[in-house]
Structure 1
Amino acid sequence: MDKTELISAVAEKVGLSKKQVREVINEILSQIAKQLVLGQKVKLVGFGTFSKQYRAARDGRNPRTGERLIIPERHVVVFSPGSDLKQQVQEPMQQASQSQEDADNKQDDKKE
């Protein structure tokens, strides 16, 4: 899903125009970015936390040429998923696993 698809889905779900939803989403993203620039964490309870982390300079290699180079120090954005999001992501796997177990049990029952 890209940003345009997200805007369409939210607009349909909440009954607002795509323009209104686009403005809200753009402002949310702008506020998240602004706080990260200031060194603040952005915690969305149940969803996750955005934060800025420092990465020191390090040695690396150009993957095409194999040439050694120094990767400069930098800040990166890190996202840590919240417990609710982790659980939602795992549920389909758990359901699929349970479905496979049920199917295996049915096959075993037929053999007996």
Structure 2
Amino acid sequence: MAMNRSELEAAVAKKTENSQTAVKAVLDAVFDVFVEQISQGEKVSIPGWLAVERTERAARTGRNPQTGETIQIPAGHSVKLTAGSKLKAAVSGK
């Protein structure tokens, strides 16, 4: 079962004894900063927890699944999220 955003906000509000509205505002600000930095090509790193960065994706040849026709897919960008050591340890139980 996945935790959605409102459940995350409620859980953080309970842990920090803040209102869910305050937590929502902080999360909105965090995600805004992520978007600003990553769209400029900057990496956002929270040591031990995670790193988020923009990656380059080369142009490539693909296929239209309906017609089988070969198409050219232009170069572009993607986002890479890397788990840090604390997050990896929490998942592995170490």
TM exceeding 0.5: yes
**Fraction of identical pairs, as percent:** 38
Partner of 1:51: 53
Structure 2 partner of 1:31: 33
Gaps of 5+ in 1: 95-112
Work out which of the two has the higher radius of gyration on C-alpha atoms and give 1 or 2. 1
Q: Which secondary structure does the structure 1 equivalent of 2:29 belong to?
A: helix
Given the two structures, how large is their TM-score scaled by the length of structure 1?
0.76
Q: TM-score of the superposition, structure 2-length normalised?
A: 0.90
Larger proportion of helix: 1
Give the number of the structure with larger relative contact order, counting CA–CA contacts within 8 Å between residues 6 or more apart: 2
What is the alpha-carbon root mean square deviation over aligned residues?
1.3
Q: How many residues align?
A: 92
After the TM superposition, which residues 5-44 of structure 1 pair with which residues of structure 2 at under 5 Å, given as runs? 5-44=7-46
Which is strand-richer, 1 or 2?
A: 2
Measured after TM superposition, the shift of residue 63 of structure 1 is 2.8
Partner Cα separation in structure 2 for residue 60 and residue 2 of structure 1: 34
Runs (4+) of structure 1 moved beyond 3 Å? none
